[in-house]
A = this chain, B = another copy of it.
Amino acid sequence: MVQADNSKYPPSVVYDVLMLLAIFASIVPLMFRGNYQIFQVMEITAVLIFIVDYLFRWYTAGLAAEHNNLSAYIKYPFTFMAIIDLLSILPGLSLINNSFKLLRITRLLRITRVLKLIRYSKHLVVLLAVLKKECNVLLSVLALAIGYIFITALIMFNSDMYFENFFDALYWATTTLTTVGYGDIFPHTNLGRLISMLSALFGVAIIALPSGIITASYLEELKRQHRSDSR
């Protein structure tokens, strides 16, 4: 089982290290405000490596399947990881060919490259698997939270005249529910403060939901591992 799992990694570790360096090289420029020459060189090098990597993975995807060869070639570009790989190449292309002029938007897309790093850590994949398993329930909690935020923001926006637009109220409601509370926006009237207090107190029950879901899921995971160990 472990052998089969390892087979998707190329035999040479050099390749993995090279990829990691390429990913870091393409991220470093995002961490500085300036536009240095060295960053553009790093960018172009990284993108070229990503293109070669993308084609290489496409090629090996077909080989791994062996029979049903053709359909594997067609399916690969539509897998989740292939789409992420493609997205990490696209913003770089706009740098080589400057006619795109969509730099401002693509800059955000470039961050998807970081997701590639997950491929190189086994332990994190397990934790993300737990989160993925409970994904649907957690998204329902998110929907519930967004509904709660929306209603609280509506009540606050119509009660406290300090909030200039509805987005401010939504921002305040979110920072209150998640208990972040930056303090840049807060109610200024006594009615607003009362709503704020009630919102925070009842919100505790909603914020406790993910904790309950994850604890239950983790306990089941541990039990399942125990059972398979004792066999």
Contacts A166-B32, A197-B174; is A184 near B186 (CB within 8 Å)? yes
Which B residues are CB-close (under 8 A) to A63? none
Residues A214 and B212 in contact, CB atoms below 8 Å apart: yes
Please tell me if A211 contacts chain B, counting CB pairs below 8 Å.
Answer: yes
Q: Which residues of B contact A75 (CB under 8 A)?
A: none
CA distance A95 to B33 in the complex (A): 44
The minimal Cβ–Cβ distance linking A76 to chain B, given in whole angstroms, is 25
| Interface size of A in residues (CB-CB distance below 8 Å) | 78
Smallest beta-carbon distance A220→chain B, Å = 7
Is A167 located at the chain interface by the 8 A CB criterion? yes
Contact B166 A175 (CB under 8 A): no
A198's closest neighbor in chain B, by CB? B174
Beta-carbon contact of A174 and B201 below 8 Å: yes
Q: Which residues of B contact A18 (CB under 8 A)?
A: none
A1 within 8 A of B: no
The list of the 5 closest CB pairs from A to B, nearest first, reads A183-B183, A180-B181, A212-B215, A212-B214, A178-B200
Q: List 18 A-B contacts (CB under 8 A).
A: A30-B158, A108-B155, A108-B159, A111-B154, A114-B151, A124-B140, A124-B144, A124-B147, A126-B140, A127-B140, A170-B197, A174-B196, A178-B179, A180-B181, A182-B186, A204-B207, A205-B214, A212-B215
